[in-house]
Amino acid sequence: MTEKSKRPPFAVELAGILPALEGYVPVNMQEADLPRFRQLSSVTREDLIGDAPVDCVDHVIPGFDGAEIIVSVISRADHKTAGPGIYHVHGGGMVMANRFAGARALVDWAIKYDAVCVSVEYRLAPEFPAPVPVEDCYAGLQWMAANAAMLGFDPDRLLIFGGSGGGGLSAGATLLARDRGGPPLLGQLLQCPMIDDRDCTASSRQYEGVGVWDRTSNNTAWKMILGERCGAADVSPYSAPARATDLSGLPPTFIDVGAAEVFRDEDVAYASAIWAAGGDCELHVWSGAFHGFYDIAPQSRQAQACLVAREAWLDRLLHP
Please report, as a single letter, which amino acid is at residue 126.
Answer: P
pLDDT for 42 equals 95
Please report, as a single letter, which amino acid is at residue 312.
Answer: A
* Residue of 102, 160, 132 lying closest to 239 (CA atoms): 132
Instruction: Provide mean pLDDT across the span 107-111.
Output: 98
Can you tell me the distance from the alpha carbon of 122 to that of 5, in angstroms, rounded to the nearest whole number? 38
Whether the predicted pLDDT of 4 surpasses 80:
no
Does residue 282 fall inside a structural domain? Answer: yes
Whether the predicted pLDDT of 126 surpasses 80:
yes
Q: Are strands 253-258 and 281-286 parallel, antiparallel or unpaired?
A: parallel
Does residue 2 fall inside a structural domain? Answer: no
Mean pLDDT of the chain: 97
For residue 164, what is the domain's CATH number?
3.40.50.1820
pLDDT band for position 1 (cuts 50, 70, 90): very low
pLDDT band for position 262 (cuts 50, 70, 90): very high
pLDDT for 209 equals 96
Instruction: Provide mean pLDDT across the span 291-305.
Output: 96
Whether the predicted pLDDT of 296 surpasses 50:
yes
pLDDT for 2 equals 55
Q: 3-state DSSP call for residue 72?
A: strand
Does residue 4 fall inside a structural domain? Answer: no
Does residue 188 fall inside a structural domain? Answer: yes
Question: Which residue range is the domain that position 109 belongs to?
Answer: 12-318
pLDDT for 190 equals 98
Please report, as a single letter, which amino acid is at residue 262.
Answer: V
Phi-psi region of 23 (alpha: psi -120 to 50; beta: other; left: phi over 0): left
Whether the predicted pLDDT of 50 surpasses 70:
yes
Measured CA to CA in angstroms, residue 151 lies from 11, 157, 248, 316 at distances of: 42, 13, 30, 24
**What value does the CA radius of gyration of the chain take, rounded to a whole number of Å?**
18
| Rounded-to-10 torsion of CA 235, 239, 242, 245 | 70
Can you tell me the distance from the alpha carbon of 56 to that of 49, in angstroms, rounded to the nearest whole number? 8
Give the HSE-up count for residue 5: Cα atoms under 13 Å, Cβ half-sphere: 2
| 171-229 pLDDT per residue, tens | 999 999 999 999 999 999 999 999 999 999 999 999 999 999 999 999 999 999 999 99
Can you tell me the distance from the alpha carbon of 256 to that of 279, in angstroms, rounded to the nearest whole number? 16
pTM: 0.97
Does residue 304 fall inside a structural domain? Answer: yes
Instruction: Provide mean pLDDT across the span 9-35.
Output: 97
Our count of domains for the chain comes to 1
Phi-psi region of 211 (alpha: psi -120 to 50; beta: other; left: phi over 0): left
Does residue 70 fall inside a structural domain? Answer: yes
Instruction: Provide mean pLDDT across the span 232-253.
Output: 98
Residue 170, number of CB atoms within 10 A of its CB: 30
Does residue 81 fall inside a structural domain? Answer: yes
| 139-177 pLDDT per residue, tens | 999 999 999 999 999 999 999 999 999 999 999 999 999
Whether the predicted pLDDT of 5 surpasses 90:
no
**Percentage of the chain modeled with pLDDT above 70:** 98
pLDDT for 320 equals 87
Residue count (the chain): 320
Does residue 305 fall inside a structural domain? Answer: yes
